[in-house]
Amino acid sequence: MPYSPASGPLTANASGQPAASDDDPAAIGRRVRALREARGISLSALARQAGVGKATLSGLENGTRNPTLETLYAITAQLGVPLTAVLSAPASGATVRGAAVSATLLEVFEDSDVTYELYRMRVAPGPGQLSPAHQAGVTEHVTVFTGVLRAGPVDAPLTAAAGGHLRWASDVPHVYAAVGDEEVTASLLLRYPRK
Amino acid sequence: MPYSPASGPLTANASGQPAASDDDPAAIGRRVRALREARGISLSALARQAGVGKATLSGLENGTRNPTLETLYAITAQLGVPLTAVLSAPASGATVRGAAVSATLLEVFEDSDVTYELYRMRVAPGPGQLSPAHQAGVTEHVTVFTGVLRAGPVDAPLTAAAGGHLRWASDVPHVYAAVGDEEVTASLLLRYPRK
DNA sequence: CCCGATCGTTCCGTTTACGGAACAGCGTTG
DNA sequence: CAACGCTGTTCCGTAAACGGAACGATCGGG
């Protein structure tokens, strides 16, 4: 049983960087209250419209309760905003970092037998970074936004400039490196079969 | 959203309403399970690592429980993904709709002289949709997640299946159409020069 | 002034999400 | 083929999130 490389396109896992930072539950309450007041709605009215108790909404706004998804969804739906609008940071991101590369997960999409993970990736100028082989069947698609990227299997990396597109099977060790002095920005799509 | 008009990939419509749409709670469970299995972690192990009960995680994955934010966060943090990765919701508010195509803006990136807009796109089965010419210098990059997509200039459209990648200059009228009965899901990257 | 209406908070009984333990199913071992 | 180790599910007592009602505070009108 091959121990799968933790999360994300890089080895680095966040075992050491859990939570703490921006999951402040009180922040959610503050955002809800701000959205409500921006619309000039009273707590009582919003609670009634959303079909939740006033006690629930009050506790949520003050951070004294740990709401269920159902409750939070009912409220955000009534405010006309997506759930993500009140969760952590706007461009929320589990960010995986390496020496030269950082990648932020934008979205996960599940097909019937394949999973896609879409990242925004940045590669700093310098020697680049090595990423170990992923499980079999994993494909990486990269579209370069800025700079010049050299990436792919260690023995046969590819190069693309802004607007270019790279694609390789990543079941072998592969590298990411910025060519030149400019930081590389790109989108990275990971495609792997569901087991 | 402080973000530019940019009329999106489709003719501007933006009917606006972030309709309640489907917030299928079971879908959250399916995503969590998919992410867990993709990492080769057992339910028992993930529950222990995340500090939640096995019963909780089991119920969550099977959609028989309505988790609290705290619970869901503990699990997604351990998986190394943001909360938004498992929430069905349209990640960002800006959704552009057409008859057959809908696209949700995920992120905007500004380079010194070029702007990128990254969308998640869905194309419903059927006759497809025509999009008028964009300004000169606009390039579209599409990576297909599910289904088979036929897209590109009206006089020379290209075809790609799941995992495939298309790219064309979109300063001429172009089309999007799903081939076959399956809905097409894809990422769409718009690249255009700043004025 | 008093009164009614509404504000947000707090109290309380009910519902339910929680974690621990017991459970059945499956592969591997001795 | 019992004995293990592991999987994921189900049972159950407890903690807490829930909605409804009661509360004090604040505002505007008669």
pLDDT in tens, B50-66: 999 999 999 999 999 99
The domains of chain B are located at 25-85, 95-193
Are the Cβ atoms of A111 and B162 closer than 8 angstroms?
yes
**What was the pLDDT predicted at A69?**
92
Q: What is the pLDDT of residue A61?
A: 92
B82 CA: distance to closest CA in chain A (Å): 5
Question: Has residue A46 got a pLDDT over 90?
Answer: yes
What pLDDT shows up at residue A8? Answer: 45
% helix / strand / coil in chain A, to the nearest 5?
Answer: 25, 35, 40
| Torsion sign, CA atoms A2, A143, A146, B92 | negative
Mean pLDDT of A55-74: 93
Which range is least confidently modeled, A61-65, A117-121, B99-103, B112-116? B112-116
pLDDT exceeds cutoff 70 at A3: no
For residues B91 and A83, the model is more confident at A83
Identify which of B37, B146, B187 has the shortest CB distance to residue A118.
Answer: B187
Superfamily of domain B95-193: Jelly Rolls (2.60.120.10)
Q: Which residue has the higher pLDDT, A22 or B64?
A: B64
pLDDT at position B194, please? 56
What's the one-letter identity of residue A167?
A: R
Q: Does B156 touch chain A (CB under 8 A)?
A: no
Cβ-in-10-Å burial (0-12, 13-18, 19+) of A144 comes to buried
Between A187 and B43, residue with greater pLDDT = B43
Residue B112: closest C-alpha in chain A = A146
- Name the closest nucleotide to A61, judged by C1' and CA: C8
Q: Do B87 and A84 touch (CB under 8 A)?
A: yes
For chain A, the residue count is: 195
Q: SS3 of A39, please?
A: coil
A55 touches strand C (CB under 7 A): yes
Q: Give the strands of the sheet with A184-193, arranged side by side.
A: A95-97, A101-110, A114-123, A184-193, A139-146, A165-169
Nearest to A119 by CA among A108, A95, A142, A103: A103
Do residues A145 and B116 touch, judged by C-beta distance below 8 A?
A: yes
**Please, are residues B187 and A187 in contact by the beta-carbon 8 Å criterion?**
yes
- Beta-carbon separation of B66 and A67 below 8 A: no
Query: E strands, A74-179, where?
Result: 95-97, 101-110, 114-123, 129-131, 139-146, 148-153, 158-161, 165-169, 174-179
Query: In B109-124, which positions are buried (b, 16+ CB within 10 angstroms) versus exposed (e)?
Result: bebeebbbbbbbbbbb
**Of A163 and A172, more confident:** A172
Is A189 part of the contact surface with chain B (CB cutoff 8 Å)? yes
* CB contact at 8 A, A180 and A150: no
Q: Is the dihedral of CA B93, B95, A189, A137 positive or negative?
A: positive
Q: Report residue B133's pLDDT band, with 50, 70 and 90 as the boundaries.
A: confident
- In chain B, residues with a C-beta closer than 8 Å to the C-beta of A3 are 40
Determine the residue of chain B that is closest to A68 in CA distance: B68
The whole-angstrom distance between A154's CA and the closest CA on chain B is: 22
Name which residue leads in pLDDT, A162 or A150.
A150
Contact A115 B70 (CB under 8 A): no
Smallest CA–C1' separation from B72, nucleotide: C17
Determine, for residues B191 and A163 on separate chains, whether the beta-carbon distance falls below 8 Å: yes
ipTM given for this complex: 0.62
| CB of B167 within 7 Å of some strand C atom | no
Taking residue B176's Cβ as centre, other Cβ atoms within 10 Å add up to: 26
A window 43-62: Cβ near strand D (< 7 A): 51-56, 59-60
Share the mean pLDDT of chain A: 75
Higher pLDDT, B116 or A21: B116
Smallest Cα–Cα separation from B188: which of B168, B173, B180? B168
CA–C1' nearest nucleotide, residue A53:
D19
CA-nearest residue to A88 within chain B is B83
Write the single-letter amino acid at B167: R
A124 or A2: whose pLDDT is higher?
A124
**pLDDT over 90 (residue B182):** no
Q: What is the pLDDT of residues A92-140, one digit of tens each?
A: 444 555 668 887 776 666 666 677 777 878 888 888 777 777 777 788 8
Q: Which CATH number fits domain B25-85: 3.30.420.10, 1.10.3720.10, 1.10.260.40, 3.40.50.300?
A: 1.10.260.40
Distance B66 CA to D4 C1' (A): 36
Tell whether the model's pLDDT for residue B40 goes beyond 80. yes
Same fold flag, B25-85 and B95-193: no
Residues 118-137 of A with CB under 8 A from B: 118, 120, 135
Residues of B (24-83) whose Cβ lies below 8 Å from A: 25, 28, 30-31, 34-35, 37-41, 66-70, 72-74, 76-83
